[in-house]
Amino acid sequence: MHADRTKKLNDAVTRNASSKRLKKAAFFNDGTPYFNGNVLNYVYSVGRQERIAAITELYPEVITSQNFEEHVDQLQELEVVFSTWGMPMLEEEQLRRLPNLKCLFYAAGASKHFRETYLELGVRVITATRVNAIPVAEFCLGQILLAMTGYFRNTREAKDPLSASPLNGFAGPGNFNETVALIGEGSVSEKLQELLRPFDLNVVVLSSFVKPGAPELADVFEKAFVISNHLADVDENTGIYHVDLFRRMREGAVFINTGRGRQVNEVDLIEALQERRDLTALLDVAVHEPPLEGSELYALPNVLLSTHIAGAKNNEVGRMADCMIDDFLRWESGQDLLYEVTPEML
Chain segment 170-197, per-residue pLDDT in tens: 999 999 999 999 999 999 999 999 999 9
Reported as a single tens digit per residue, the pLDDT across 305-327 is 999 999 989 999 999 999 999 99
Give the rounded percent of residues in the chain with a pLDDT score beyond 90: 80
> From CA 142, how far away is CA 228, in angstroms rounded?
12
CB atoms within 10 A of CB 163: 13
CB 85 within 8 A of CB 127: no
Q: What pLDDT score was predicted for residue 338? A: 96
Domain segments of the chain as ranges: 2-128+313-341, 132-305
CB 67 within 8 A of CB 61: yes
> From CA 272, how far away is CA 33, in angstroms rounded?
35
Identify which has the larger pLDDT, 6 or 68.
68
**Structure confidence at residue 109 as a pLDDT band (50, 70, 90):** confident
> From CA 150, how far away is CA 171, in angstroms rounded?
5
Give the mean model confidence (pLDDT) for residues 193-213: 95
> From CA 25, how far away is CA 105, in angstroms rounded?
10
What is the chain's mean pLDDT, rounded? 92
Give the mean model confidence (pLDDT) for residues 17-37: 81
DSSP states of 255-295: EEE-S-GGGB-HHHHHHHHHH-TT-EEEES--SSSSPPTT-
**Structure confidence at residue 346 as a pLDDT band (50, 70, 90):** low
Same topology, domains 2-128+313-341 and 132-305? Answer is yes
> From CA 299, how far away is CA 295, in angstroms rounded?
8
pLDDT at 205 over 90: yes
CB 55 within 8 A of CB 329: yes
The structure's pTM equals 0.87
Flag the least confident range among 39-48, 54-63, 125-134, 155-164: 155-164
Q: Which CATH architecture has domain 2-128+313-341?
A: 3-Layer(aba) Sandwich (3.40)
pLDDT at 201 over 80: yes
CATH class of the domain at 132-305: alpha beta
pLDDT at 17 over 50: no
